[in-house]
Amino acid sequence: MAVADGVLMKCDVREPAVAATTTTMQLQQLDRCLRNKPRQSYTDIMMDDDDIYGQRSFDLQSKLKKYPDDDSFYNSMKGSEVTLTYFQTNGFDTPILVKDKAGLGLRMPSENFTVSDVKKCVGSWRTVDVMDVRTQKDLEMSMKEWTSYYESEPSRRDRLLNVISLEFSHTKLEHYVDQPSVVHCMDWVDLAWPAYLRELQTSATNQLATMKYPKVQKYCLMSVQGCYTDFHIDMGGTSVWYHILKGQKIFWFIEPTEENLKLYENWTLSAKQSDIFFGDLVEQCYRITLEAGNTFFIPTGWIHAVYTPKDSLVFGGNFLHSFSIEKQLRIWEVENKTKVPIKFRYPFFTELHWYVLERYLHAIGCKQYRVKVDDDDNDNTDIYSYNNAVKCEDDTSTTTTTTTTTTTTTTNNNNNNNNNNNNNNDDDDYEDDEDDIKKDNRNLLKTDLKKLMPPPPPSSSSTSS
Ligand SMILES: O=C(O)CCC(=O)C(=O)O
Ligand SMILES: [Fe+2]
């Protein structure tokens, strides 16, 4: 999910020896299929200089030993404690571990859900991006091919492959998975992206040409034992929720201080990534082992690498929010400096910022820059869309806040026509009934403002543990 650069995703802990000898019919078929795909043409025999050059030369087992698990860098919390109020009080700079998902509002399939079930839900012919972790190259496979690979005996897998970027919104799988409630309350896509645009999304793939909104909210990660994803920052400085349904993951984490980000930029640009374990370059590198059932929240910019000790099935998602705006923009700059290709960046990053800005202006009572939706049903109404429906149950507030998806404004009544528009704005799209706007603004002040504005300063009654 959301890894910034193909170059950043690397190899495995097991040595290449596993390859070559043991090929089943299945794997031969797989190879044949892969060979038919234009994107990949490399096999063990066909390794070129680039492949050899890109291989990791440090020993990952020694890095696992060197950095033991450390619980000093994250907050361990109950699901019910991870609320909007928590973030408003404490900000979101510290990672959070929730061992048991109860109270998070997270929807997950049952523990016996398999990769085969994923295939049934997203379709056998859905193409998935697969990282060959040894050569660091990505290739495409169908879900059918991927499932055969994943379900084969570990000893029979002739190469290590990892799927970390299967975004499955708009497939059947989306109904089995829902992000923690608090994420819906913070995610700018839910708060600010125009609902009518999102509703235009029909494709289940993540091709930019057909994408209508930042489609990064629901990822399925399927990793076989031994996979390693090298140090990276998630795209656009997105924060992440990451739930282990099955298996186990070991993360190394580095705080995104200015010093560490500079080191990271240099390391990324140095072409020595595969020789140097980035954790060794910084003052403090932390490690955590995540078990099945755990949910982890990664704040903006935390640099991380991931090792998979057991075959794993993970669900997660990425989101931008109002508690780390500066840092998110700083990561955008890191991506520019390190030349991360468009394909690996947050889609519509700039556009989303404009929509968020519009929400802020609206919330503080400025003129409303809503987007008029084409509406040719001649019913004397114009539809203005500016938000998605979001319900936020906040443990400290007595009200349930709801942001509406669309508003309908009657435009050709007498009142409106006679109205002297104080805004002096000629643009029809922005000609709103002022009372309507005021009413909307009052509602938004009660709702959006609370969600979009930076949090109040921490108080002693913090819910942090
Ligand atoms: O689980 C993995 O291998 C990588 C997870 C991760 O950090 C990501 O997808 O961004
Ligand atoms: Fe990541």
pLDDT at position 42: 27
The Cα 315–Cα 166 span in angstroms is 10
Any ligand 1 atom below 6 A from CB of 165: no
Distance 410 CA to ligand 1 centre (A): 48
pLDDT at position 395: 38
Any ligand 1 atom below 6 A from CB of 304: yes
Sign of CA dihedral 205, 211, 212, 213: positive
> Token pair for residue 63?
């890095």
Please report where in the chains the tokens 């070559």 appear, as a residue. Answer: 20
Beta-carbon contacts of 126 under 8 Å, excluding residues fewer than 6 positions away, are 142, 143, 166, 171, 204, 205
Q: Which domains are delineated in the chain? A: 69-115+168-364 (2.60.120.650)
Any ligand 1 atom below 6 A from CB of 12: no
Evaluate whether 84 touches 451 at the Cβ level (below 8 Å).
yes
The Cα 8–Cα 395 span in angstroms is 40
Ligand 1 atom nearest to CA at 227: 3
Alpha carbon nearest to ligand 1 atom 1, residue? 306
- pLDDT tens, 137-196? 789 999 999 999 999 998 888 899 999 999 999 999 999 999 999 999 999 999 999 999
Any ligand 1 atom below 6 A from CB of 89: no
The Cα 147–Cα 166 span in angstroms is 13
Question: Following CA atoms 353, 356, 357, 361 in sequence, which dihedral angle do they give, to the nearest 10 degrees?
Answer: 180
Any ligand 1 atom below 6 A from CB of 119: no
Mean pLDDT in the chain? 77
Residue 240 carries which side chain, given as an amino acid letter?
A: V
Structural element, H or E, at residue 222: strand 219-223
* Helix, strand, or coil (residue 187): coil
pLDDT at position 29: 31
Question: What is the arithmetic mean of pLDDT over 107-126?
Answer: 96
Whether pLDDT at 457 is above 80: no
> Token pair for residue 244?
């282990």
Ligand 1 atom nearest to CA at 316: 9
- pLDDT tens, 29-67? 323 222 222 333 223 334 444 444 567 888 999 999 999
Question: What is the arithmetic mean of pLDDT over 340-369?
Answer: 87
Ligand 1 atom nearest to CA at 318: 10
Give percent of the chain with pLDDT exceeding 90.
58
Pairing assessment for the beta strands 75-76 and 96-98 based on DSSP bridges: parallel
The number of the ligand nearest the C-alpha atom of 302 reads 2
> Token pair for residue 141?
């496979």
128: how many CB neighbours lie within 10 A of its CB?
Answer: 22
pLDDT at position 107: 97
Any ligand 1 atom below 6 A from CB of 141: no
Distance 312 CA to ligand 1 centre (A): 11
Distance 163 CA to ligand 1 centre (A): 9
Sign of CA dihedral 11, 16, 20, 26: negative
**pTM for this model (two decimals):** 0.75
Ligand 1 pocket test: which of 130, 217, 219, 229 has the largest number of ligand atoms within 8 Å of its C-beta? Answer: 229
pLDDT at position 134: 82
Question: For the packed helices 25-36 and 143-151, what is the interaxial angle rounded to 10 degrees?
Answer: 150
Whether pLDDT at 118 is above 90: yes
Ligand 1 atom nearest to CA at 305: 7
Between 116 and 136, the higher pLDDT residue: 116
Distance 294 CA to ligand 2 centre (A): 16
Strand partners of residue 216 = none
pLDDT at position 63: 97
